[in-house]
Amino acid sequence: MKFLGNILWLIFGGFAIFLEYIFAGIALCLTIIGIPFGLQSFKLGVLALWPFGQKIEYMDYAPGCLSTVMNIIWFFIGGIWIALTHLFFGILLGITIIGIPWARQHFKMMSLAFTPFGRRIV
């Protein structure tokens, strides 16, 4: 089921989302200040490419207060808009019974879009 879900995800928009995150990550990495945010965009891109069968969890070690500060900056610069986009598509797909698995993946990506620093994809 995971493989089929990922293939259907790629065909119906997952690859486009992946490309958007990768291009945004490259654009952010062009500046020294944007490199940490670009790396988080790459993290979201990896999850957008193959979301079924992956989990998001907090890192085992304490990332410290810098992670909190970076999450706050991320939230106001772009995280809120990314999360709202995933919320919109999650609700849109969740209306139909057949779209519920894809809606759950958008909700998973929405939680990572709010606070990507201090989290990892397993």
Whole-structure pTM value: 0.87
Per-residue pLDDT of 84-103, as tens digits, reads: 999 999 999 999 989 999 99
Per-residue pLDDT of 56-73, as tens digits, reads: 988 877 677 888 899 999
Alpha helix (H) residue ranges in the chain:
2-9, 15-29, 35-49, 65-74, 80-94, 100-114
Which residue do the tokens 């119906």 mark?
Answer: 12
Segments forming the whole domain that contains residue 112: 2-121
3-state secondary structure of 52: coil
Number of domains in the chain: 1
